[in-house]
Structures are given as structure tokens and as C-alpha cells.
Structure 1
């Protein structure tokens, strides 16, 4: 199958509060810059967001479009990358009374009064809500060419075009066919919309996904982008999240369906192996009771 190739029109200038955030690595030797994959993965995963300064004249430019949660393996974002969010408030919905915020003054979240999703559409009324991560859960993308990419995606930046070579996780299409009409589907990614929205337009040809949430809907908490399900505007008894990163669901672990990180294993079957579980979760009153029992250690 020939890969799908697409490009975007030229963009206007982007700044810190737009959908593109430039992370400029000051290291002159590119071989010393950590990446998430030997094939120059574009998963510029985010930890200590204070570690990078913005210097546009720096020789080596890395555009932080995707997000990852590896162990000291990724390029960082700056402390003022709030993307329109506000300081985490312990009184907001989703905060636990046991949370210690004294050392987390740099954590940022969407507006505490914001509900991220609109009311359920008639076609999803009565269905449970399935939240799904994108990168390393459904797809993997890289800067350099990889064997047999499913999508070659061009994103036009103000510094010039960036090309992403995207591979779909095995059985992704089969998985999307299964969940179609059985759940309200939300893709919630810590990647930026300029990349993720365009990619989803390609891989979701049957319009399985009802809602898309991007980095500006995440909470930057302890250096990690976190997805707080309590601000979706959905009943948590009927909401679950599939994500390869425990950091992403650290506020709602009882709603989580963990999945392994996918890079390039073409024999992977984890998506379709979730189908029996999802089939069962459709029928239960509270998904948390099932998931806590299944995944508690």
C-alpha cells in the first residue's frame, strides 16, 4: 500500500501561545541531543519544562510537536509554555484533598471552570466514553524515513516544512471498526493540534472519533502532561482512558486501561486484545470497579 502523503499550506507566525511551540536545543552537537527512538523519533517527550530556553538564532532547531513520557530521553519545553492555562488550584474539580501542591507551583491546567467536551450528541447518548491517546498508543511518527510508513505528513512551520513518517499500530483499523458506534470516542493527545488534527483527518476515514483534545487541554503537572478526566464533563463511572503513559492518567488511575508503548513491532496485537475487555465494560454500571480489580497491583 502506498503511503498517504499530505501537506499543509504555509502558516503565519506562531508564538508561545499558539498551537506551535518551538523548543530550541542549545547543544551544538546534535549527536548529544536525546531522542526517544534511534530513528530520530519526533516524539519529543516532555519532562522538566524549565530546561530549555527559547533562542531562535540557535543553530539546531527542534520543534516540540509531539509529547512523550520517557525516562530522561527527550527534549524539554520551557517554564512559560502555559498554552493559555492557569496555575493548578487545589480547589478545582478533580483535585484530591490529599494532593500536596506546595511543591507544584509550576503546574498549569486549563481554566478550572472549563468543561472540555460539549454535551453528548444524540448518536452517542447513553454510551460510555472511551478516551484514547494518539502517539505510541495508536501510531508512531518519526522525522527520518522509516520502512513502509502508512502516512507521510507535511506540516508547514514558519521556519519551513516538517515531514513526519507515521506508522499505524497493527490492527488499528480493525480496532476503530470495533469501537465505532459502541462508545463515545475522544482522542486526547498531548501533541499539538497542528500535527495531530491533520493526522486524525487521515487515519479516521470513517469518522469514528467524535471529539479531539490536544495539548492545550492537558495539565502540566510535575513536569508531565496529564489528562484530567474529571473536567471532560462526563460521568466518571462511564469513562475510561487507553494510554501508554501512566503519567497521562495519574489523576484517574481507576479509569485507566494501560497499553504498552508501540514503536515498530509489526506483530503487536494489543489493540485487538482489548476488545473482549471493552465489550464487557459496555455492560457494567461502573467501569472503575472492573478496571481497579483488573489492573491493581
Structure 2
């Protein structure tokens, strides 16, 4: 009887030992499965021991909310400081030998007109009223032949897209007005100034004072084949090559003047760039005309 009781106690103890070993094997097997599926997180390891991660590390701030990937323009505050837009450029254009060249029809050799026509140069004849009187006291009518500088109409069209165009000529209105009407049929030129608008100076006659257009000359430029026309504002001038009927291949307007004007249209002040390009104050000084220092 005693031996039977000892056998039962031994069997019961052995059973508990095997049960404990099976539990540990099961625990290790679960860990092995987690490692096989992927590295276990810190929270999962704690869970195996019956612990909660929140008890060990409770965050003291709310979870981070990521910003949107794309920020639309409507999300930008409208009260941010903006650069002040610059004024529209004012381009003052000379007429004779800058945009066109004109000759009295009676004194123009026919060979010149024929050669210009063969070269593709556009020209037309025009009647202009002169200040002179005929024998009956009536205004004399002059007949002139006008040659257009190559690229003239394209130049006016493209320049008018970014600038106000002003025509300023030392010619008389009776001659210049019908000529401008002919080359500017689309009215791209907003203002016309004739000889009475020029002034006389100690050094030259028929000088074009740009202050009659604006007191602030930072956004004003004049294109003229005669530099003495802008001697009062040497930093605002573009001296262009004079045009004649014998230059059918001339491309000054499109290839030289227009690109420069497009660049000037982006400047808050045109004078520093024009000074760097032409150094006109020094040019005038060489011709005995003192000028103010460059800006």
C-alpha cells in the first residue's frame, strides 16, 4: 500500500515536470514563429510577458500629423509682401534714317529705286504739304519716295506688346504726319511729336528733351540715328546705324534694337544697362559736350 502511494506521487510529479517543459517549448516555438515572420516589435515582446507598452512609455504629446505633400497656391497667405510691378516701358522712336528713309522723287535716281525693288526693299510714294508757298500763295505739295527699313512692321508690332511707342521727329508735321499714317495703319504709336516739340541748346538744334514725356526717366528710352538728338539725356539713348535705300540687307530693327528693348523692358531702370552698353556720356565729352555723371 505504501509503495502504491509513492508510485502515484512520483507519477504526479513527473506529469507536472513534463507539463512545464511543454509550456516552455510552446513559448519558444511562438517566439520562433515571430522571428520567422519578421522581427518582433518591442510591444509584441512585452505582450508575451503579459505587459502593456503604454504602461512603460506613455507619450506626453499627441501623435505627429504629417503635412500635406502638395501645398496649393490658395494655401499661401495673400498678405505676403509682393514686389511692386514696374511701369510699362516707353520707347521713343525717331523717324528719318531710323524707321524709314525718304527722298524727293524728282531727285531720286531711277537706278536706286530699281535696285531696292530687286532686293525686296519696300517703298511707296507720298504727297506732303510743304511750308513753302507756290506762285499763287498756296502751300507747295512735294512728292517724296519713302523706303521702309527691313522688319519695320514686325518691329512695331512686337515692341508695342511690351512698350508704349512714341514717335518723336525733328521733321515738320506736314511731311511726317502722312508718312506715319502710312507706316502705322494699326495705330501702334500712341503719341506723335514733331519739330516744334524739340528745343535748341548751346550745342545743337532740334534736341529732343525726354522730360516732356516724363520726369522719371528710369523707364524711358529713345532710339535715334543721330545721338545729338538725345544729348540732354545721354543715358537714355540707343544710337542706331543710319538707314538708306542702299542697305536692303539691313536688319538693325529686328536683330539689334528689338532684343535690346526686350531686355530693357525687364529692368527697373534702363540707364545703367544703356550706359554699360554705349558709354554715351564719354562719347559726348569727346565731342565737346559736357554731361552729368552716369547713374
TM range (shorter): 0.5 to 0.7
Q: Secondary structure at the match of 2:189?
A: coil
2:219 aligned partner: 238
For residues 277 and 141 of structure 2, what CA distance do their matches in structure 1 show?
A: 45
User: Which gives a bigger RCO, structure 1 or 2 (Cα 8 Å, sep 6+)?
Assistant: 1
Q: Helix, strand or coil for the counterpart of 2:175?
A: helix
Residues 87 and 219 in structure 2, CA contact (< 8 A), matched pair in contact too: no
Q: Which residue of 1 aligns with 2:244?
A: 263
Q: Secondary structure at the match of 1:152?
A: strand
CA deviation after TM superposition for structure 1 residue 234, in Å: 4.9
How far apart, CA to CA, are the structure 1 residues paired with 2:103 and 2:126? 10
Question: In the aligned structure 2, how far is the partner of 1:196 from the partner of 1:270?
Answer: 22
Matched, 1:130 2:91: yes
**Residues paired across the two proteins, number:** 173
Q: 2:242 and 2:222 mapped to 1: Cα distance?
A: 15
The residue matched to 1:288 in structure 2 has which SS? helix
Deviations 1:203-227 (A, max 9, x none): 0011110000000000122342100
- Two-structure CA RMSD over aligned residues (Å): 1.7
1:1-297 mapped onto 2 (5 Å cutoff): 126-143=87-104, 144-145=107-108, 146-147=112-113, 148=117, 150-157=123-130, 158-159=133-134, 160-221=140-201, 222-264=203-245, 265-273=247-255, 274-296=257-279
Distance 1:165 1:283, change over 3 A: same
How far did residue 233 of structure 1 move? Answer: 2.6
Query: Which sections of structure 1, spanning at least 5 residues, go unmatched?
Result: 1-124
5+ residue gaps, structure 2, are 1-85, 135-139, 283-295
Relative to structure 1, the CA distance from residue 223 to residue 126 in structure 2 (aligned partners, 3 Å threshold; closer, same or farther) is: closer
Q: TM-score, normalised by structure 1?
A: 0.56
